[in-house]
């Protein structure tokens, strides 16, 4: 009883001070304390009250109200990058040293400026980029080249693109404690920065630095990705995670397939298109990369060919970083373009009294000759081979006698149907 009287006296004193200072009464502090320190679970899976008796869980139920939605239209999907990036998590994967960080920094700049890059960017957005593997000066040097490409001064990015160099710091957002997964205190700092800078897009470079769980555990991966999505909930918000593929041949990302399932978009950056084997005789261009949209929930698969020039990866088919990008650079379109290049090259070779063969074993194989004569117009050797095969099946080209060799044997060559 004495303890209860002491508590009542303390509560009365706090209430009197609260009234004088126009603060909430004692009950408000009790409610806040209860929220911060909820009762512990009992062994039966429910919470125990002060008497040790189990109490039911309290859940928030918010089902869709079909009657209220009947006469309304849902809001249109917001695209940060048309058909490439929308609200939710995305994964950019690629081998180490392939250029992911440079690409991410360029994408972040395009988003901040509202300038098209790999596709249309409808409006400028605020971008926060945690660069965990680069120092201040390296990011600065990179940004100078990127701004030169977009023809803007560095100051144009003030309060629009916030880059945090975090090389040498502990960047673990999610880790295991006694075998149980959970968030570290650093997630609170990340959430605070997203709110303080009013970020619409978050770039995290990379998963290896920020994710301390087991990449092969589906629960760990899903909890991490979902938790990042919950950092900002009052506006459309996208997170782009950078990651590496595993060491297995033809791997496009490391760890559990939960990475694929948890993200809305997955991009893959490589020296060739995914699923495309490189022939032994094919010479790889060290300045060429391909960015492929490998997983998408809301649009079609797509890709871009990127060429490294003047410190920036420039996307082919997009042109200068201004104006409107209307053509979808899809696989189907790329196939059609390769076929048109084959037909064009046949005409160019004919004009100089040359031709190519249809057989891959021939030294005059048409795609090989096009590479030698620099008539590829950016198409890869594999694309040209596939395009020639399709044209032969469609009977749009055929191999006929086009002349005589020095030994009077017929000289064969591929021509467009209807030409001689």
Classified as helix, coil or strand, 336 is helix
Q: What is the structure's pLDDT at 242? A: 95
Mean pLDDT to the nearest integer, 194-208:
96
Q: What is the structure's pLDDT at 249? A: 58
The yes-or-no verdict on residue 405 having pLDDT over 70 is yes
Window from 265-279, 323-337, 344-358 with minimum mean pLDDT = 323-337
What is the phi/psi pair of residue 65, to 5°? Answer: -95, 95
Q: What is the structure's pLDDT at 43? A: 44
The yes-or-no verdict on residue 324 having pLDDT over 50 is no
- What is the Cα–Cα distance from 306 to 159, expressed in whole angstroms? 28
Tokens of 327: 């053509």
The yes-or-no verdict on residue 159 having pLDDT over 90 is yes
CB-based contact 144:136 (threshold 8 Å): no
Q: What is the structure's pLDDT at 101? A: 96
Q: What is the structure's pLDDT at 131? A: 97
Window from 17-21, 188-192, 247-251, 297-301 with minimum mean pLDDT = 17-21
Q: What is the structure's pLDDT at 196? A: 96
The yes-or-no verdict on residue 330 having pLDDT over 50 is yes
Regarding beta strands 47-48 and 54-55, do their DSSP bridges make them parallel or antiparallel, or are they unpaired?
A: antiparallel
Burial class (CB in 10 A: 0-12, 13-18, 19+), 185: exposed
The yes-or-no verdict on residue 321 having pLDDT over 50 is no
Window from 67-76, 92-101, 140-149, 295-304 with minimum mean pLDDT = 295-304
Q: What is the structure's pLDDT at 318? A: 52
Q: What is the structure's pLDDT at 5? A: 46
How confident is residue 335, by pLDDT bands cut at 50, 70 and 90? confident
Compute the residue count for the chain.
Answer: 420
Q: Please, what is the average pLDDT of the chain?
A: 81
Classified as helix, coil or strand, 235 is coil
The yes-or-no verdict on residue 66 having pLDDT over 70 is yes
Of 7 and 301, more confident: 301
The yes-or-no verdict on residue 50 having pLDDT over 80 is no
Classified as helix, coil or strand, 307 is strand
Q: What is the structure's pLDDT at 326? A: 40
The yes-or-no verdict on residue 268 having pLDDT over 50 is yes
The yes-or-no verdict on residue 45 having pLDDT over 70 is no
Name the one residue in this structure whose structure tokens are 């004919």.
Answer: 350
In this structure, the number of other CB atoms found within 10 A of the CB of residue 94 comes to 23
Classified as helix, coil or strand, 30 is helix
Q: What is the structure's pLDDT at 3? A: 45
Q: What is the structure's pLDDT at 91? A: 94
As a whole-number percent, the residues of the chain with pLDDT over 70 amount to 76
In this structure, the number of other CB atoms found within 10 A of the CB of residue 342 comes to 28
CB-based contact 96:244 (threshold 8 Å): yes
The yes-or-no verdict on residue 300 having pLDDT over 90 is no
Angle at Cα 359 formed by Cα 355 and Cα 365, nearest 5°? 40
Window from 19-28, 91-100, 199-208 with minimum mean pLDDT = 19-28
DSSP count for the chain of H helices, then E strands: 12, 17
- What is the Cα–Cα distance from 370 to 389, expressed in whole angstroms? 15
Of 59 and 282, more confident: 59
Radius of gyration of the chain (CA): 30
CB-based contact 372:366 (threshold 8 Å): no
């Amino acid at each position: 009883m004495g303890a209860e009287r002491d508590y009542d006296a303390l509560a009365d004193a706090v209430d009197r001070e609260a009234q004088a200072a126009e603060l909430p009464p004692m009950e408000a502090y009790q409610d806040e304390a209860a929220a911060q320190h909820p009762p512990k679970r009992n062994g039966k899976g429910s919470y125990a009250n002060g008497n040790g008796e189990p109490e039911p869980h309290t859940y928030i139920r918010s089902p869709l109200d079909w009657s209220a939605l009947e006469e309304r239209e849902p809001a249109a999907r917001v695209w940060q990058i048309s058909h490439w990036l929308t609200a939710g998590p995305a994964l950019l994967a690629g081998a180490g040293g392939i250029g992911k960080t440079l690409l991410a920094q360029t994408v972040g700049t395009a988003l901040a400026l509202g300038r098209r890059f790999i596709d249309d960017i409808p409006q400028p957005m605020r971008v926060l980029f945690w660069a965990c593997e680069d120092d201040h000066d390296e990011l600065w040097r990179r940004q100078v080249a990127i701004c030169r490409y977009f023809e803007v001064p560095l100051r144009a990015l003030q309060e629009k693109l916030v880059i945090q160099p975090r090389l040498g710091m502990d960047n673990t957002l999610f880790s295991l404690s006694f075998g149980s997964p959970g968030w570290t205190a650093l997630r609170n700092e990340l959430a605070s920065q997203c709110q303080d800078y009013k970020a619409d897009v978050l770039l995290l470079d990379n998963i290896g630095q920020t994710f301390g769980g087991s990449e092969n555990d589906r629960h760990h991966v899903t909890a991490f990705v979902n938790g990042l999505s919950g950092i900002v909930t009052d506006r459309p918000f996208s997170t782009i995670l950078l990651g590496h593929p595993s060491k297995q041949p033809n791997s496009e990302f490391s760890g559990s397939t939960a990475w694929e399932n948890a993200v809305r978009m997955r991009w893959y950056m490589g020296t060739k298109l995914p699923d495309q084997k490189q022939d032994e005789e094919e010479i790889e261009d060290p300045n060429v990369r391909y960015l492929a949209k490998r997983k998408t929930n809301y649009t079609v698969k797509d890709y871009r060919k990127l060429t490294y020039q003047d410190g920036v990866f420039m996307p082919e088919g997009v042109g200068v970083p201004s104006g409107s990008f209307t053509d979808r650079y899809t696989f189907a379109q790329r196939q059609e373009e390769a076929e048109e290049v084959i037909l064009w090259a046949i005409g160019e070779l004919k004009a100089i009294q040359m031709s190519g063969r249809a057989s891959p074993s021939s030294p005059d194989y048409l795609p090989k000759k096009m590479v030698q004569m620099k008539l590829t117009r950016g198409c890869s050797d594999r694309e040209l081979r596939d395009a020639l095969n399709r044209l032969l099946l469609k009977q749009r080209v055929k191999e006929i006698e086009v002349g005589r060799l020095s030994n009077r044997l017929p000289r064969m060559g591929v021509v467009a149907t209807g030409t001689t």
